[in-house]
Chains A and B, each alone.
Chain A
Amino acid sequence: MDVESDRVIDARGSYCPGPLMELIKAIKEEDVGRVIEVWSSDESSAKDIPEWVKKAGHELIGVFKESDYWRIVVRKTK
């Protein structure tokens, strides 16, 4: 799936909840409709960030596995 992200956060090397907290900060800063992706080398973050996105009511565009990290792509919806 090819979605152009407006902002990329490279949180590789950080552990739960680091990548999530960085994503949340970016979501707060960006406007509604913007697409933000966070890169995480931490598998638990790749699984847990979508849970947060669902609970917070944003749109999960997808979780994409790269060689040794995950790209979690989210659209801010409110």
Chain B
Amino acid sequence: MGKLAIVLASGELEKIQAASTIASVASTLGNEVVVFATMDGLMAFRKDVVENRTWKTAGELGKGMLESGAPLFIDTLRQAKEVGNIKIYACGMIMDMLKMKLDDFVDIFDDVVGVSAFLGMVEDAQVLFI
């Protein structure tokens, strides 16, 4: 099959959840998947946000997901990394701008990359921007 790249720019839980589900399942079906977390999408992976489950939500659905206590995108992506072909990258520009280190985020990223490196990785991929 093909190569799928997802630019995760939204910090809204509903969008991240949907994107992560698609990315994770695709990665188990012979696709090469690349996720690039940037802007608010990167902030959703901050340790304090993940620990306290203080993600932004678009509305009632997202609040319900938080209240249900169900496993969310972090768990799904971790499972995908165990069994699928998925790489997750943090945006270097945001980290430089906010003086953040990879250590400020949960342990899920393969590397920190800039936009040029990301574009190089996804030349032959279908790209979804979320």
Query: Which residues does A use to contact B, with CB under 8 Å?
Result: 14-18, 20-22, 24-25, 28, 52, 55-56
Contact = CB atoms under 8 A, between A and B. Distances in A.
Interface in B35-91: 68, 70-71, 75-76, 79-80, 82-84
Contacts of B30: 56
Given A20-B25, A24-B28, 8 more contacts: A15-B70, A16-B21, A17-B21, A18-B70, A18-B75, A21-B80, A52-B28, A56-B30
A72 to B, nearest CB: 15
A4 to B, nearest CB: 25
Counting contact residues on chain B (CB < 8 A from A), the size range is 10 to 19
Indicate the member of B30, B79, B80 with the most A CB atoms within 10 Å: B79
A55 B25 CA distance: 11
Contacts of B70: 14-15, 18
A28 B25 CA distance: 14
B24 interface: yes
A55 B80 CA distance: 17
A22 B24 CA distance: 12
B79 A21 contact: yes
A24 B83 CA distance: 7
